[in-house]
Structure 1
Amino acid sequence: MAAVIILLLLLLFTITTLLANLINKKKRAAAAAKLPPLPPSPAAAWPLLGNLPAEVLIHKKPMFRWIHEVMKDMDTDICLIRLPGGANLIPVLDPAIAREMLRKQDAVFADRPVSFGSHTISGGYVTTAAVPYNDQWRKMRKVLTSEIVSPARHKWLHDKRAQVTDNMFRYLQEADNLVSYVRSHCVAGKGVDVRVAAQHYCGNVMRKIVFGRRFFGRATLDGGPGPMEVEHVEAVLGALKCLYWSCLSDYFPCLWGWDVDGKEKVIKEANETIRRCQDPIIDERIRQWRSGERKEMDDLLDVFITLKDEEGKPLLTPHEIKSQAVVGMMAGIDNPSNAVEWAMAELINQPYLMAKATKEIDLVVGKENRMVQESDIDKLNYVKACAREAFRLHPLLPFNAPHVATQDTIVGGYFIPKGSSALLSRYGLGRNPKTWTNSLKFDPERHLKGDGDNDEVVLTEHDLRFVSFSTGRRGCIAAMLGTCMTTMLLARLLQCFAWSPTGNAKFVDLTEADDQLSLATPLKAFPVTRLTPDLYPVI
């Protein structure tokens, strides 16, 4: 009798479970029928490959160019790309949709995807920027906003930035010296490599404010960057390209560590190069503080090391400090140097625009008094408009760092499934013809308000009509520093020299590289001094 009762109970349980599953299935189907549609997508996805064609995965066509071609053909500003492994990618070219994501639903899109590159560069996700939205991110974000990039700290580091900027034009024993560079390289008619000058200026600023030094090793005889600095900057820029979806294992995490396509090795080597240059300095500085040999703070590394928790213990571990230093270098070198190189190329091709920029500098600073200083930045609206236009038209990276949806949501009338990675297209937003008139033309005056004198031009763009330093809780928190570096570098180059193409060329070739958005050929230009002689140092 007991056995019969048990069998009946089991049968009843089975029937109940089946009915419940059937009812839930119908409810889910009914709920799905009421949901808005998914964003438009390319042709049906292939098993394992998703929407990505063989030309991307096998023939190495840049994925960002394929995505933008597809969206242009589909005539859409939002799209759903199914990645290999089943992940969803949502590229966005519409500023209204971008604002909806990063303003109205900022908390929903606050996460980041996991990738081999982001995991490696961030030291296992102990930093900010490319790490998931969790307590560790909140801890590091709080440290940076309150202790590292605050207005007070920016002011504290002013003299270090000024020293590096001045050293562009002064020959000291171990100084970057653009005038020396001009004299030693332009004699043969080769011109100045503006890309090298811009990248190493930014590298010097970041090394100076973080480590208190411009060089890891020795400068070259002409005052330029030494081998370690060249290697360091190349590794930083190389690592930046590898954060997301560069390895096959990013699509199939089960392949992590196998290095099927050889990309993991590239990422590891870039990370090891950066850390080989930086970590010994950090280790030695930690030793100095622990031994009592060092007692006063002089740079950001000192700030990181001396931070204490509520119990008076070090707030950050050496591993956290080292990893954050890597991410900081990546954030500080790339954006300003690329914008200045493109701005200079465009201005050389449009001399009347360059004349307007130099005239503004002469009116604010004069030609016989002094060099441009940070205190002049607020008044240099046309110069900033040139930089702002370079950010709009010529971003360094095609996409912003991805924002992962932490829940199902609706954006722009489309259903966005949980786990989808939303990508704001820097390339597409800045060149969207629905937003910008003559969107492919370099026109700084589109950013001037009124007569350009009363309203200050800023490099940030909170309306997301293009992306300079992003916005929202995952946006760049060092926009003040980025603005300062970009404006000072561009203003000094324009103030101190009149620039022209090298050789017999009448124009600079503005062709983009195939696999990225930088100039295909680094900008080389010939400078002629334009200030009174006594403002230039005697070499």
Structure 2
Amino acid sequence: MDTWYVALAATLVVVPFLWLTLFGGNGGGKRGRLPPGPPAVPFLGSVVLLSRVLTDVEPELLLQRLIDRYGPIVSLRMGSRVSVFVADRHLAHKALVEGGAALADRPSVPASRLLGENDNIITRAGYGPVWRLLRRNLVSETLHPSRARMFAPARSWVHRVIVDKLRESGQAPHDAMDTIQYAMFCLLVNMCFGERLDEGMVRSIEDAQRDLLIYITSQMAVFAYFPAITKHLFRGRLEKIYGLRRRQRELFLPLINARREYKKHGGEANKETTLEHSYVDTLLDIKLPDEGNRALTDDEIIKLCSEFLNAGTDTTSTALQWIMAELVKNPAIQEKLRDEITAKTGDDQPEVSEEDAHDMPYLRAVVLEGLRKHPPGHFVLPHRAAEDMEVGGYLIPKGATVNFMVAEMGRDEQEWKKPMEFIPERFLPGGDGEGVDVTGSKGIRMMPFGVGRRICAGLSFAMNHLEYFVANMVREFEWKEVAGDEVDFAEKREFTTVMAKPLRARLVPRRT
């Protein structure tokens, strides 16, 4: 156990008894209007958060207990900062959609300042001109349907990668998650750098990305508490991050420079392995008008590429695994989906095209039901209040961090019939999910992509990929449960919420 945690645990023994009587609630003037929550220890934070050091309770389970006790909006103190968690869909709509830009900002990341980095990436940039420029570039130049068609060769190639890898084991039980995740990563690498890389290089990039992401999410939270002190106590962690960043740069920069040369020479390259358009191409063209019209630095491009790979890989592969697990567990649903696919495509086509997938209502229902019951992220990325605002009769003070409990909304028993059952028919005419709008513009019933001004830029792209790959995996194989190794829907929190016991299935080829 780190020195910091030992000191913090020792503090817990003494400090709460000295302060709870005086500071036990949210009472007192303006503070009394804060959403309800557990008592807090001044300078350190809410007792329930501090006690996690000793009890190691999962954060989501802890929040569910607090929601049950205090209601659908809860406030916690993390050090000197106020964090608010919202589990009610009506309050979420009021805050994120009706509230306009009030919650369109992001909280700062203390570790970034310690590392000397700026926040010029889409998920972390403050609500302002840089964020608008970067997001507009991603949406219009890479994720727009007119551009998406340019990536069709990459999707077809990845489809073949998936099929070939899944066929390798014959009908023996197959660990599907590794194949799905690798294939999604191949696709995003191809789209990002415009080049089809060999498996060794893809695995190296994948390992570098995952090592960096896991270290940041598991080891860097301590810098949110007294960074002036913790940067000395945990200097080794900062050095570790520097090393992981250097490794990432060594892998990414040659690929970025290769794309510079590609653009410089008018796009002449191997048409078999090189895409005519890539995400890096768009980043090389960006100028920041508020900063002297300068181009992005190499380090900024590397971080944007890293963001692109992380955002598109884990979320999509996690959603695919959950959906395929449900189809394994529910063979009647799988066969109904297969019947729709066969009726639309027959057996002559090499694959289910995106155009075909768009015209399959049951396929879309299966994907939506997977996202409702198993959203890859059980929380959206945190928002920051740009001003004092009122939600549900409570004050959200300026600077507070606000998060929204996505899974709670999609599994709300008052909104959905039998919410913990997998029922795609609910999204067909006459079902309780008919006409649901995942953008939440008119009302929130489920929000797997977030809602409001910081809604996921890749929403349409992600839906297209999920429909395309689910359709093709069901068309190629019958996914069957393994006797003695049944599907287990227990959850585990990593970067996304994954299956605690990864999916294993017996795959029976449907086509020769």
What is the letter of the counterpart of residue 393 of structure 1? K
**Does residue 1:63 correspond to 2:59, yes or no?**
yes
CA distance in 2, matches of 1:34, 1:312: 42
1:233 and 1:47, CA in 2 relative to 1: closer, same or farther beyond 3 A?
A: closer
Match of 2:108 among 110, 114, 122: 114
Q: Match of 1:172?
A: none
Q: Match of 1:302?
A: 281
CA distance in 1, matches of 2:473, 2:329: 16
SS at match of 2:508: strand
What is the letter of the counterpart of residue 326 of structure 1? S
> CA offset at residue 207 of structure 1?
0.9
> CA offset at residue 108 of structure 1?
0.5
1:459 and 1:164, CA in 2 relative to 1: closer, same or farther beyond 3 A?
A: farther
CA distance in 2, matches of 1:451, 1:67: 31
SS at match of 1:285: helix
The gaps in structure 2 that reach 5 residues or longer are 1-27, 270-275
Q: Which has the larger radius of gyration?
A: 1
Answer whether contact 2:42 2:80 (CA < 8 A) is retained: no
Q: Match of 1:42?
A: 38
What is the letter of the counterpart of residue 401 of structure 1? L
**Does residue 1:77 correspond to 2:72, yes or no?**
yes
Which structure carries more helix by proportion? 2
CA distance in 1, matches of 2:414, 2:311: 30
Answer whether contact 1:308 1:315 (CA < 8 A) is retained: yes
CA distance in 1, matches of 2:245, 2:114: 7
What is the letter of the counterpart of residue 260 of structure 2? I
Q: Match of 1:99?
A: 93
What does 1:466-505 align with in structure 2 at a 5 Å threshold?
A: 466-505=446-485
CA distance in 2, matches of 1:266, 1:522: 29
CA distance in 2, matches of 1:142, 1:121: 27
Match of 1:508 among 476, 483, 487: 487
Q: Match of 1:536?
A: none
Match of 1:402 among 358, 382, 392: 382
More displaced stretch, 425-434 vs 457-466: 457-466
Answer whether contact 2:438 2:446 (CA < 8 A) is retained: no
Answer whether contact 1:40 1:80 (CA < 8 A) is retained: yes
Q: Match of 1:203?
A: 185
SS at match of 2:100: coil
CA distance in 1, matches of 2:423, 2:242: 41
**Structural RMSD (CA):** 3.3
> CA offset at residue 106 of structure 1?
2.6
SS at match of 2:465: helix
What does 1:267-416 align with in structure 2 at a 5 Å threshold?
A: 271-287=245-261, 289=263, 292=265, 297-307=276-286, 315-416=295-396
SS at match of 2:232: coil
Aligned residues: 475
1:178 and 1:381, CA in 2 relative to 1: closer, same or farther beyond 3 A?
A: farther
Deviations 1:69-120 (CA, angstroms, capped at 9, x unpaired): 221233x11111111x211111111111111111111301011111245668
**Does residue 1:149 correspond to 2:148, yes or no?**
no
More displaced stretch, 123-132 vs 226-235: 226-235
SS at match of 1:157: helix
> CA offset at residue 356 of structure 1?
1.4
Q: Match of 2:222?
A: 248
> CA offset at residue 391 of structure 1?
1.6
Answer whether contact 2:383 2:403 (CA < 8 A) is retained: yes
What is the letter of the counterpart of residue 238 of structure 1? I
SS at match of 1:99: helix
Deviations 1:452-481 (CA, angstroms, capped at 9, x unpaired): 9xx888765553322222222211112122
**Does residue 1:130 correspond to 2:117, yes or no?**
no
CA distance in 2, matches of 1:521, 1:356: 26
SS at match of 2:302: helix
Q: Match of 2:399?
A: 419
CA distance in 2, matches of 1:151, 1:528: 34
Which structure carries more strand by proportion? 2
1:482 and 1:317, CA in 2 relative to 1: closer, same or farther beyond 3 A?
A: same
Q: Match of 1:194?
A: 176
> CA offset at residue 433 of structure 1?
2.0
CA distance in 2, matches of 1:278, 1:475: 28
Match of 2:204 among 209, 225, 228: 228
Q: Match of 2:3?
A: none
> CA offset at residue 323 of structure 1?
1.6
What is the letter of the counterpart of residue 330 of structure 2? Q
SS at match of 1:203: helix
Q: Match of 2:7?
A: none
What is the letter of the counterpart of residue 323 of structure 2? A
Q: Match of 1:213?
A: 195
Q: Match of 1:182?
A: 169
TM superposition score normalised by structure 1: 0.79
Deviations 1:153-189 (CA, angstroms, capped at 9, x unpaired): 22232333233223333xxxxxxx3344333xx5xx3
> CA offset at residue 325 of structure 1?
0.7
CA distance in 1, matches of 2:156, 2:436: 22
Answer whether contact 1:106 1:472 (CA < 8 A) is retained: yes
> CA offset at residue 387 of structure 1?
1.8
Match of 1:522 among 502, 505, 510: 502
TM superposition score normalised by structure 2: 0.82
Answer whether contact 2:427 2:436 (CA < 8 A) is retained: yes
1:308 and 1:114, CA in 2 relative to 1: closer, same or farther beyond 3 A?
A: closer
1:477 and 1:110, CA in 2 relative to 1: closer, same or farther beyond 3 A?
A: same
CA distance in 2, matches of 1:503, 1:194: 16
